[in-house]
């Protein structure tokens, strides 16, 4: 036991956990701890809005695979975390949100910046705790790190502001690594039997493959079985795109090759995959999910097993450990598999057909630059190994069929929270974690206005050279597409009128480029990558009905029905 202050105990716990950066906006509530950061070797990355601090911590956690930290002033500062922490929750990203709160002697009196902060984070964290005595600062902070790691999600450390002060005795030590097994032997054997007997086995690689760094193990398994590998929705980085068994992602705006391939499966190994219901909906008019297929579902979180689909073999296991042991079990079974030439040829055929179709879509005529043509150029111009974050929007969704990756932790999309305004700040965090790689933040013009624009100031101030690409179609086009398809082109709130984003970037101290012709993409991207400075590329693209992707929520929208006389002309069939 060593004598220290609670502020010292908190900061020393961060140091013990290997924290090098903390994202936030300064506030008096935690200034006593903040003052120690430089001496502790912790960089405080000061952002423009607390939402960006939590997204940046998420981005850094996703690329590093380690818990990361954001901190905010009590009340309004902490409230600004909520949406971003929810995004991290659905991304299974270990973010520790430190939320100082009103002092213990003022609680309940309605003093200043006071509201019970625990309910805000109740539904979006794996664990939350209020430091109830200053002496427990290190212990409770440590528990937040432990659960964030062990349960792959955000936690909240809530600290009454007077509890940073005083003298305490405590011990500082690092949380241990939780090892996770490959699942029961009997399940591994059953999985080996099912896959060996399958006539068309398919591996569905989910986010857990990336989280557990199981890409190599998945590759070996796929090669042994000659099993095509489909990435789950928005998890394009779970298998190398150039591999001969890779067919790309299913889900909204995904790969038709992947959808046609999985539709033929009689056995699916859903590895590190929760089989999220949105990610398996029909797409491109294809109801591709093979209802007759037998499913082996492997997830580290037993709550996900069989949650949205009937599963024949549910296994609670680490994706990497499971894949590794399953391969050994298959090899030991004596069935020494030769590569299945027919299946390989089929995969090749499907990929080629999809490539041709996508190419034709990307070269369709348009008045302004076609978004697909732009994405085609952008995805080939981005250097191999780049990290790409994406937002929520019509153009961003199309990215799913253009961007392939070489390995895990390279693709950071908004995922299931689906909030516009996430991409830029995710990229800030990612770039801090992997400074040697180009980091691209892809977002629509609407989403950029929510958060990206103001965080360019952060990138400049903190010298974090992310490359932002703004898909500028002067519209909240994903929503506009609904008005086109369902509301007879009545545009309420979906048109935008943008400033010159490139000029604005230059005014903020970043580099700014404008692209109107796909031929310029290569040159601009090369300049952006070599500049080593924050860059904003304003890509002027077409937003006409013909170039837009399908409505995002076809599954949930209905034609308008109006009964009242004053609205009757707004009915679908008026």
Q: Which residues would be at the binding site for ligand TPP (CB under 6 A)?
A: 392-395, 418-421, 443-447, 471, 473, 475-479
Q: In this structure, are residues 156 and 97 in contact, taking their beta carbons and an 8 Å threshold?
A: yes
Residue 254 interacts, among ligand TPP, Mg ion, none and using kind-specific CB cut-offs from 5 to 8 Å, with none
Q: Which residue has the tokens 């004596």?
A: 334
Residue 419 interacts, among Mg ion, ligand TPP, none and using kind-specific CB cut-offs from 5 to 8 Å, with ligand TPP
From 217, 299, 350, 445, residue interacting with Mg ion (rule: CB under 5 A): 445
- Residue 477 Cβ, how far from Mg ion at the closest point, in Å? 5
Q: Which residues pair with 283 in a beta bridge?
A: 286
Residue 453 interacts, among ligand TPP, Mg ion, none and using kind-specific CB cut-offs from 5 to 8 Å, with none
Q: Tell me whether residue 270 or residue 548 sits nearer to ligand TPP (CB atom).
A: 548
435: CB partners within 8 A, 6+ apart? none
Residue 478 interacts, among Mg ion, ligand TPP, none and using kind-specific CB cut-offs from 5 to 8 Å, with ligand TPP
Q: Tell me whether residue 190 or residue 485 sits nearer to ligand TPP (CB atom).
A: 485
Q: In this structure, are residues 298 and 183 in contact, taking their beta carbons and an 8 Å threshold?
A: yes
From 77, 94, 248, 444, residue interacting with Mg ion (rule: CB under 5 A): 444
- Residue 449 Cβ, how far from ligand TPP at the closest point, in Å? 8
Residue 231 interacts, among ligand TPP, Mg ion, none and using kind-specific CB cut-offs from 5 to 8 Å, with none
Residue 392 interacts, among ligand TPP, Mg ion, none and using kind-specific CB cut-offs from 5 to 8 Å, with ligand TPP
Q: In this structure, are residues 206 and 232 in contact, taking their beta carbons and an 8 Å threshold?
A: yes
Cα separation, 198 vs 224, in Å, equals 13
Residue 447 interacts, among ligand TPP, Mg ion, none and using kind-specific CB cut-offs from 5 to 8 Å, with ligand TPP
Q: Tell me whether residue 278 or residue 289 sits nearer to ligand TPP (CB atom).
A: 278
Residue 200 interacts, among ligand TPP, Mg ion, none and using kind-specific CB cut-offs from 5 to 8 Å, with none
Phi, psi dihedrals of residue 458, rounded to the nearest 5°: -65, -45
Q: In this structure, are residues 265 and 306 in contact, taking their beta carbons and an 8 Å threshold?
A: no
CA geometry: angle at 283 spanning 280 and 288, to 5°?
60
Q: Tell me whether residue 252 or residue 322 sits nearer to ligand TPP (CB atom).
A: 252
Q: Which residue has the tokens 């896959």?
A: 195
Q: Tell me whether residue 77 or residue 446 sits nearer to Mg ion (CB atom).
A: 446
Q: Tell me whether residue 160 or residue 543 sits nearer to Mg ion (CB atom).
A: 543
| Cβ neighbourhood burial of 501 (10 Å; 0-12, 13-18, 19+) | buried
Note the Cα 322 to chain centre separation in Å: 24
Query: Minimal CB distance to ligand TPP: which residue?
Result: 444
Residue 394 interacts, among ligand TPP, Mg ion, none and using kind-specific CB cut-offs from 5 to 8 Å, with ligand TPP
- Residue 252 Cβ, how far from ligand TPP at the closest point, in Å? 12
Task: With contacts defined by CB under 5 A, name the span among 163-171, 252-260, 362-370, 470-478 that binds Mg ion.
Answer: 470-478
By CB under 5 A, tell whether 397 contacts Mg ion.
no
Helix (H/G/I), strand (E/B), else coil: 295: strand
Q: Which residue has the tokens 């998945």?
A: 218
Q: Following DSSP, what letter does each residue of 370-386 receive, concatenated? A: -HHHHHHHHHHHSPTT-
- Residue 24 Cβ, how far from ligand TPP at the closest point, in Å? 21
Give the closest residue to 219 by CA, choosing from 203, 233, 208, 206. 203
Cα separation, 197 vs 194, in Å, equals 5
Angle, helices 341-362 vs 256-263, to 10°: value is: 150
By CB under 5 A, tell whether 473 contacts Mg ion.
yes
- Binding to Mg ion by CB under 5 A, coded x per residue (else -) over 476-505, reads -x----------------------------
Residue 86 interacts, among Mg ion, ligand TPP, none and using kind-specific CB cut-offs from 5 to 8 Å, with none
Phi, psi dihedrals of residue 557, rounded to the nearest 5°: -90, 150
Query: Minimal CB distance to Mg ion: which residue?
Result: 444
Q: Which residues pair with 112 in a beta bridge?
A: none
Collect contacts of 565-572 with beta carbons under 8 A, ≥24 apart: 570/487, 570/490, 572/486
Q: Tell me whether residue 154 or residue 444 sits nearer to ligand TPP (CB atom).
A: 444
Residue 155 interacts, among ligand TPP, Mg ion, none and using kind-specific CB cut-offs from 5 to 8 Å, with none
Sheet holding 43-46, edge to edge: 43-46, 21-24, 68-71, 95-101, 155-160, 127-130
Q: Tell me whether residue 188 or residue 378 sits nearer to ligand TPP (CB atom).
A: 378
Give the closest residue to 78 by CA, choosing from 119, 139, 20. 119
Task: With contacts defined by CB under 5 A, name the span among 50-58, 282-290, 358-366, 467-475 that binds Mg ion.
Answer: 467-475
Q: Tell me whether residue 52 or residue 475 sits nearer to Mg ion (CB atom).
A: 475
Q: Tell me whether residue 90 or residue 402 sits nearer to Mg ion (CB atom).
A: 402
- Residue 256 Cβ, how far from ligand TPP at the closest point, in Å? 21
Residues 364-383 that bind Mg ion (CB under 5 A): none
Residues 446-465 that bind Mg ion (CB under 5 A): 446
337: CB partners within 8 A, 6+ apart? 224, 225, 226, 330
Q: Tell me whether residue 337 or residue 553 sits nearer to ligand TPP (CB atom).
A: 553
Q: Which stretches of the chain bind Mg ion, using CB under 5 A?
A: 444-446, 473, 475, 477
């Amino acid at each position: 036991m060593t004598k220290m202050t609670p502020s010292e105990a908190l900061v020393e716990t961060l140091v013990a956990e290997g924290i090098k950066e903390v994202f936030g906006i300064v506030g008096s509530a935690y200034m006593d701890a903040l003052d120690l950061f430089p001496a502790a070797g912790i960089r405080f990355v000061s952002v423009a809005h607390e939402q960006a601090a939590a997204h940046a911590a998420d981005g850094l956690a996703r690329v590093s695979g380690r818990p990361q930290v954001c901190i905010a002033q009590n009340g309004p500062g902490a409230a600004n975390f909520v949406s971003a922490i929810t995004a991290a929750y659905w991304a299974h990203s270990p973010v520790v949100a430190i939320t100082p709160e009103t002092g213990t002697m003022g609680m309940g009196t309605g003093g200043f910046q006071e509201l019970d902060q625990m309910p805000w984070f109740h539904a979006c964290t794996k664990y939350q705790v209020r430091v109830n005595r200053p002496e427990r600062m290190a212990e409770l902070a440590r528990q937040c790190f432990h659960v964030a790691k062990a349960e792959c999600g955000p936690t909240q450390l809530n600290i009454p502001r007077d509890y940073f002060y005083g003298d305490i005795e405590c011990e500082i030590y690092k949380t241990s690594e939780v090892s996770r097994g490959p699942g029961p032997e009997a399940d591994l054997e059953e999985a080996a039997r099912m896959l060996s007997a399958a006539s068309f086995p398919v591996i569905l690689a989910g986010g857990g493959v990336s989280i557990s760094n199981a890409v190599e193990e998945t590759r070996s398994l796929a090669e042994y079985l000659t099993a095509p590998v489909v990435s789950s929705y928005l998890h394009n980085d779970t298998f190398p795109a150039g591999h001969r068994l890779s067919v790309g992602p299913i889900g909204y705006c995904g790969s038709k090759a992947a959808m046609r391939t999985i539709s033929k499966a009689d056995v699916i190994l859903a590895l590190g995959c929760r089989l999220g219901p949105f990610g398996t909906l029909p797409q491109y008019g294809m109801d591709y999910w093979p209802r007759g297929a037998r499913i082996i579902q492997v997830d580290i979180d037993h709550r996900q097993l069989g949650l949205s689909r009937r599963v024949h073999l549910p296994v609670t296991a680490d994706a990497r450990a499971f894949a590794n042991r399953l391969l050994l079990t298959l090899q030991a079974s004596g069935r020494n598999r030769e590569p299945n030439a027919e299946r390989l040829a089929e995969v090749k055929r499907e990929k080629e057909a999809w490539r041709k179709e996508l190419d034709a879509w990307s070269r369709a005529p348009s008045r302004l630059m076609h978004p697909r043509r732009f994405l085609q150029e952008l995805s080939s111009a981005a250097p191999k190994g780049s990290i790409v974050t994406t937002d929520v929007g019509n153009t961003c969704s199309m990215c799913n069929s253009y961007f392939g990756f070489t390995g895990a932790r390279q693709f950071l999309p908004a995922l299931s929270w689906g909030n516009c305004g996430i991409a830029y700040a995710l990229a800030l965090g990612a770039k801090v974690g992997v400074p040697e790689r180009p980091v691209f933040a892809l977002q629509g013009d609407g989403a950029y206005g929510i958060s990206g624009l103001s965080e360019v100031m952060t990138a400049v101030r903190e010298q974090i050279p992310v490359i932002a690409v703004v898909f500028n179609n002067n519209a909240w086009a994903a929503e506009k597409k609904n008005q086109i398809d369902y509301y007879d082109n009545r545009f309420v709130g979906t048109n935008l009128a943008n400033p010159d984003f490139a000029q604005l970037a230059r005014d903020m101290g970043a580099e700014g480029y404008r692209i109107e012709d796909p031929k310029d993409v290569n040159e601009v991207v090369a300049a952006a990558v070599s500049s080593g400075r924050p860059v904003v590329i304003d890509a002027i693209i077409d937003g006409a009905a013909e170039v837009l992707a399908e409505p995002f929520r076809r599954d949930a929208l209905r034609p308008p029905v109006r009964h009242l006389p004053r609205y009757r002309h707004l009915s679908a069939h008026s």
